[in-house]
Structure 1
Amino acid sequence: MSPPEPRSRLWGWWWAYFVAFFLVAGGWAMALPANGTYDEKDHIARAYAVVSGQLTTRQTVVDRRDDVRPAFLVPASLLPPNSNVDCTWSPRPARSAACQTWTTSRALTLTPSGAAKYSPVYYLLVGGPLLAAPDLTGIVLARLLSVLVTAALLAGAIGAALRLGSRLLAIGVVLTATPMAANLAGSVNPNGVEIAAGAAVCCGLLALLRAPEGRLGDGTVRRLLLLVGAASFVLLTVRQLGPLLLLLIVAACAALARPGRIAGMWRHHGAVWLVVGSWVAGLAASAGWMAYSGLADVATVARDARHYGVAEAARLLLTWRVPFYLKQFVGQFGYGETSPSAVVAAVWYLLLAALTVPSLIFGGRRLTLVAAGLGAASIGLLVALEIYYLPVVGWFAQGRYAMPAAVGVVLCVASDGRFERWLAARRRLRAFCGGLTVVAGLIHVYMLVVAMTRFQAGPGAPLDPFAGAWQPLLGPLPPLLATLTGVTIFAVLAATMGAAARPLMAVPTLPGVGSPRGGMAAA
């Protein structure tokens, strides 16, 4: 790995990456129509309700599928009406967002929300603009607040990577902030913030537990522990799977810790107790809210429930659901009906492979076992959710649910320093980092253009982000320019980091080509 950055320079990196992440996800925030991604209408109604004092509700309304749903009193202008809000994708065929009808009336109307029992933490963070401007303007502003939180957490993850001295871990953060993650970050949906929190916890713990002896001063350790504590609290409280996702991340990072490092953390008593306190408070808040709201109580939906035999369920999981999870990790937009070519998803996975496969070759057996275990646990969590909910509400799990922990597979592998030192010694690190980032940036822009064309002109229309019967609130140019600027900043930063890097220790060689594979403790 490279020497740690001076504190003043680290703040410069933090701000630059914060701006880049904000612009990339902000492009999605400005480009999407209302309810432009998974369940956004439910989260918008919930956010308005929370900031207007409606933490829970006993009121119900019959939705467009004739299901009785919890409902809140929100202004009629906040969303298109219940019968119309899903018109871009249901009923079939899917259409452009020009099908949505709006009113300027601020009269309160009962609006259903599938997020009615969700923790209020996220909605308190983003809901203010909806109270001030209950319309598409308020929705875009609420999205940008969500982007702000997400960008701060991801920039914190980058900062932790650079404190570890790992340029490849920083590139790993950029690559795990996939177009799907950017899409979710640029919507009113806690899933985007949750993914960023998972990355921040993982990078913070990796820096604390894997940094060479003497690299981190007491002040740096305290700042990293503060990052871990804050991001952990967010992860524990914004969605109901948070405690299990945090457990997976902590277990993976602990398995990669240097000998004696976990015990050594306890000499930073105040900072460590801040992390422990955040975990206790987050777990208490999560459990308390679930008990108070009855979130764990899920009513059976006979229309959607499925009762498969073991063999048939296993076949569908392997041939349909798991491939769906893997593709959604990269990008499957709208309500799943907007799916870019599988080739594009494959290219993104090739970028991840270019980063992770050599690192695994250099890294040793323990790194491989931890990465495989975390990956299997992430997919296993989704499969377990499917099996549990199939006879209750039908197919339930989505790949994005596991992303806060699944990103740790890439981040844990990228944190091993030997492949990075090998690249730096051969003066290839700059080209490697820049090349991965440029290709990732092009895919970000392409997927945004695909989604914009779909919502503006309808599915199947020729790619043209400027045409169509519907146009984004600020027009199509601002979201495109924002994302283009963001990915350009990423590319410049990646090349700059690679150029600045120098090998810190003896440079390893590939196993079997000059020296044996080193143990994990030598990283």
Structure 2
Amino acid sequence: MQSEPTEKRPTQTKIPAPVLRFGAIFLLLSLFSTLWSLASPLMSYPDEPAHTVKAAAVARGQFLGTSGQNQGEQLLVVVPKYIADTGSLTCFAFKVNVTADCSPGLDAAERQPTPGGTSAGNYNPLYYLVAGLPSRILSGEPAIYAMRILSGLLCSLFLAATLFATTQFANRRWPVVAAGIAITPMVLYLSGAINPNALEIVTTSAVFVNLCLVLENARDLSRFRFNIIVVGVSAAVLANTRALSLLWLALAVIAALLMVPLRDLLLLLKDKLVLAMTGLIALATACGLLWLKTSNTLASLLGTPSTTTPEQAFGTMLDRTFEIAASYVAQLGWLDTNGPTGVFYWWACLTGALMVAAVSIKQWRPRLGFIVLFAATIAIPPILQAQVVSELGYIWQGRYLLPVVVPMLLAAGLALRFHPFPDSLFAKRIAKWAIGITAAAHTAVFANALRRYGVGIFTEANWGDMFGAAKWEPPLGWLPLTLAYLAVTALAGVLLYRQLSPSQARFEEPLKSEPSLR
């Protein structure tokens, strides 16, 4: 009796776990940025009209604007009329009790070429080339929302590369904790804007964390080819983002080099991919410097001349160090919409505990990068503000420093990676509560922003007015967006907690064989 031939089952291609992890991180971050893009009224982001006009102009081949020669004078470009009219949508700016229904809206039919002014007219065009693409296909308000969403996807890609890298360290739980703290509501909020500020933040962070990972694994680069590429591409984009981006790039590289032993640095120089990415970074940096020199990028900065001396400005900004820190967490809109007070207290606890722990470890070398970035967060605002106060007055905003603050907090987590992570039942309960409160804080900031634009912020609580009496509603409605944000935040919290479980971490004891780290 002949046996029946066995059926050959088609082989199933299994997606590698790291690919799934990166995809999940990117998807979550994309949802966050998209929800913020939809929840924020058009032109409610800081300086969004100027960046929108610039993006639409660059998408049409106008890399530079034309104007007079005076400092602070807006540059003129030719864009569709609905883009040129975006400046008229900011009737609620600086007025926390004025709702977004005052905005006249945009007419999608008005696409005729019209001169438009922008203070970003001679900024590096790289970011705007991507952000402006939807304006070539769509028109009116859908075009603006699409520009925001595309910008958010770009930022989410680099931020995902940052968070993914924290999960690749052999001792990854402290870096993952730091990532959960460093991604403040402000970072996610800015990712939904038409503004290169968010791109600066995420590319600086990607360069720093991925470079640390590559340097730490210089003897086994075959498993970190993706991270080498991330360093090269992120640095190249960062070098061509804004005027201060080259400073952020230098700080990220210096901090990374200080945090890990350099005994294997020569091994990196023998790797062809490392050399190729180094060449890309050098070329991109040269292009960024050339653009700064030829385009006079800083000439269109807006401001009012002041009689304050540089010395006075330096001291004043030093006094404002902790006041400015609020902008690192949740200072939305045109600096007029703060998050709930409890959110600031919570992040002060998280960041304070993380930073104190980072400087308290026994090993000295892992602390160096953190210390350098911490010193930079204190010194840079006074120094830079003192340079321009006579000509522009006080123009510094806290969000400008987030490209240093986020890597600084990530550096604190990396400094702790050789320290044992607590695994007691009590520690696990603390982790669950901390993640839950953080998720609630993120959602509270989101909901409070919708209240500010829907019914306004007054002395008396008016949350009840959001149900049936809201004067402005975002696309899809404020309640569905808030519930969606809560769901995404909860899912992100669950995935974060899973990364902290012992089964997910490969090594959690200090590396006894690393005397050079001490």
Equivalents in 2 of 1:431, 1:191: separation in Å?
A: 36
Deviates further, 185-194 or 379-388: 379-388
Q: Summarize the alignment of residues 84-99 of structure 1 with structure 2, pairs less than 5 Å apart.
A: 84-89=88-93, 95-99=98-102
Q: 1:484 matched to which residue of 2?
A: 486
**Alpha-carbon distance, 1:373 to partner:** 2.1
For the 8 Å contact 2:106–2:141, the answer to whether it is kept is: no
Taking a change above 3 Å as real, the CA distance of residues 520 and 487 of structure 1, as seen in their structure-2 partners, is: farther
For the 8 Å contact 2:40–2:474, the answer to whether it is kept is: yes
Q: 1:122 matched to which residue of 2?
A: 127
What amino acid sits opposite 2:457 in the alignment? P
Taking a change above 3 Å as real, the CA distance of residues 374 and 520 of structure 1, as seen in their structure-2 partners, is: farther
Q: 2:453 matched to which residue of 1?
A: 455
Q: Summarize the alignment of residues 52-451 of structure 1 with structure 2, pairs less than 5 Å apart.
A: 52-59=60-67, 68-78=73-83, 80=85, 82=87, 84-89=88-93, 95-104=98-107, 105-165=110-170, 166-211=172-217, 217-268=220-271, 270-297=272-299, 304-309=304-309, 312-320=312-320, 322-418=321-417, 421-424=420-423, 426=424, 430-431=428-429, 433-451=431-449
Report how many aligned residue pairs link the two structures: 497
What does the per-residue CA deviation read over 1:252-273, in whole Å, with 9 as the maximum and x for residues that have no partner? 11011124132221231x2112
What amino acid sits opposite 1:87 in the alignment? C
Taking a change above 3 Å as real, the CA distance of residues 130 and 431 of structure 1, as seen in their structure-2 partners, is: farther
Taking a change above 3 Å as real, the CA distance of residues 396 and 300 of structure 1, as seen in their structure-2 partners, is: closer
Equivalents in 2 of 1:210, 1:411: separation in Å?
A: 15
Deviates further, 453-462 or 360-369: 360-369
**Alpha-carbon distance, 1:49 to partner:** 0.6
Taking a change above 3 Å as real, the CA distance of residues 59 and 81 of structure 1, as seen in their structure-2 partners, is: same
Equivalents in 2 of 1:122, 1:483: separation in Å?
A: 27
**Alpha-carbon distance, 1:308 to partner:** 2.1
Secondary structure, counterpart of 2:77 in structure 1: strand
Taking a change above 3 Å as real, the CA distance of residues 434 and 238 of structure 1, as seen in their structure-2 partners, is: farther
Equivalents in 2 of 1:291, 1:435: separation in Å?
A: 51
Equivalents in 2 of 1:335, 1:285: separation in Å?
A: 32
**Alpha-carbon distance, 1:224 to partner:** 1.3
Q: 2:54 matched to which residue of 1?
A: 46
Equivalents in 2 of 1:369, 1:488: separation in Å?
A: 34
Secondary structure, counterpart of 1:58 in structure 2: coil
Equivalents in 2 of 1:220, 1:279: separation in Å?
A: 22
Equivalents in 2 of 1:428, 1:267: separation in Å?
A: 47
Q: Summarize the alignment of residues 23-34 of structure 1 with structure 2, pairs less than 5 Å apart.
A: 23-34=31-42
For the 8 Å contact 1:49–1:72, the answer to whether it is kept is: yes
What amino acid sits opposite 1:76 in the alignment? K
For the 8 Å contact 1:199–1:407, the answer to whether it is kept is: yes
Which among 477, 480, 489 is matched to residue 475 of structure 1?
A: 477
Equivalents in 2 of 1:427, 1:239: separation in Å?
A: 47
Deviates further, 33-42 or 409-418: 409-418
For the 8 Å contact 1:438–1:487, the answer to whether it is kept is: no
Taking a change above 3 Å as real, the CA distance of residues 43 and 201 of structure 1, as seen in their structure-2 partners, is: same
Structure 2 residue 516 is the aligned partner of structure 1 residue 521: yes
What amino acid sits opposite 1:325 in the alignment? I
Secondary structure, counterpart of 1:71 in structure 2: strand
What does the per-residue CA deviation read over 1:23-65, in whole Å, with 9 as the maximum and x for residues that have no partner? 2222111101111111011111111111112222225799xxx
Equivalents in 2 of 1:346, 1:380: separation in Å?
A: 24
Equivalents in 1 of 2:436, 2:205: separation in Å?
A: 21
Taking a change above 3 Å as real, the CA distance of residues 506 and 481 of structure 1, as seen in their structure-2 partners, is: closer
Q: 1:11 matched to which residue of 2?
A: 19
Give me the TM-score of the superposition, normalised by structure 2: 0.88
Equivalents in 2 of 1:7, 1:489: separation in Å?
A: 21
Taking a change above 3 Å as real, the CA distance of residues 297 and 451 of structure 1, as seen in their structure-2 partners, is: same
Which among 39, 43, 59 is matched to residue 35 of structure 1?
A: 43
Taking a change above 3 Å as real, the CA distance of residues 361 and 300 of structure 1, as seen in their structure-2 partners, is: closer
Equivalents in 2 of 1:142, 1:478: separation in Å?
A: 22
For the 8 Å contact 1:126–1:142, the answer to whether it is kept is: yes
Taking a change above 3 Å as real, the CA distance of residues 114 and 470 of structure 1, as seen in their structure-2 partners, is: same
**Alpha-carbon distance, 1:434 to partner:** 4.1
Give me the TM-score of the superposition, normalised by structure 1: 0.87
What does the per-residue CA deviation read over 1:106-140, in whole Å, with 9 as the maximum and x for residues that have no partner? 23322211111111111111211122223221111
Equivalents in 2 of 1:487, 1:307: separation in Å?
A: 47
Radius of gyration: which is bigger?
Answer: 2
**Alpha-carbon distance, 1:365 to partner:** 3.4
Secondary structure, counterpart of 2:78 in structure 1: strand
Q: 1:512 matched to which residue of 2?
A: none
Gaps of 5+ in 2: 1-13
What amino acid sits opposite 1:307 in the alignment? T
Equivalents in 2 of 1:13, 1:46: separation in Å?
A: 35
Equivalents in 1 of 2:96, 2:410: separation in Å?
A: 40
For the 8 Å contact 2:119–2:300, the answer to whether it is kept is: no
Equivalents in 2 of 1:222, 1:417: separation in Å?
A: 25
**Alpha-carbon distance, 1:475 to partner:** 2.2
What does the per-residue CA deviation read over 1:3-33, in whole Å, with 9 as the maximum and x for residues that have no partner? xxx9921112111111111122221111011
**Alpha-carbon distance, 1:88 to partner:** 0.7
For the 8 Å contact 1:137–1:473, the answer to whether it is kept is: no
Q: Summarize the alignment of residues 492-511 of structure 1 with structure 2, pairs less than 5 Å apart.
A: 492-499=494-501, 500-502=503-505, 504=507, 506=509
Secondary structure, counterpart of 2:240 in structure 1: helix
For the 8 Å contact 2:73–2:119, the answer to whether it is kept is: no
**Alpha-carbon distance, 1:179 to partner:** 1.0
Deviates further, 407-416 or 497-506: 497-506
For the 8 Å contact 2:131–2:151, the answer to whether it is kept is: yes
Equivalents in 2 of 1:311, 1:276: separation in Å?
A: 39
For the 8 Å contact 1:40–1:189, the answer to whether it is kept is: yes
Deviates further, 359-368 or 454-463: 359-368
For the 8 Å contact 1:143–1:186, the answer to whether it is kept is: yes
Equivalents in 1 of 2:302, 2:411: separation in Å?
A: 39
Equivalents in 2 of 1:80, 1:258: separation in Å?
A: 54
What amino acid sits opposite 2:454 in the alignment? Q
RMSD: 2.9
Gaps of 5+ in 1: 1-5, 509-516
Secondary structure, counterpart of 1:33 in structure 2: coil
Secondary structure, counterpart of 1:443 in structure 2: helix
What amino acid sits opposite 2:144 in the alignment? I
**Alpha-carbon distance, 1:153 to partner:** 1.1
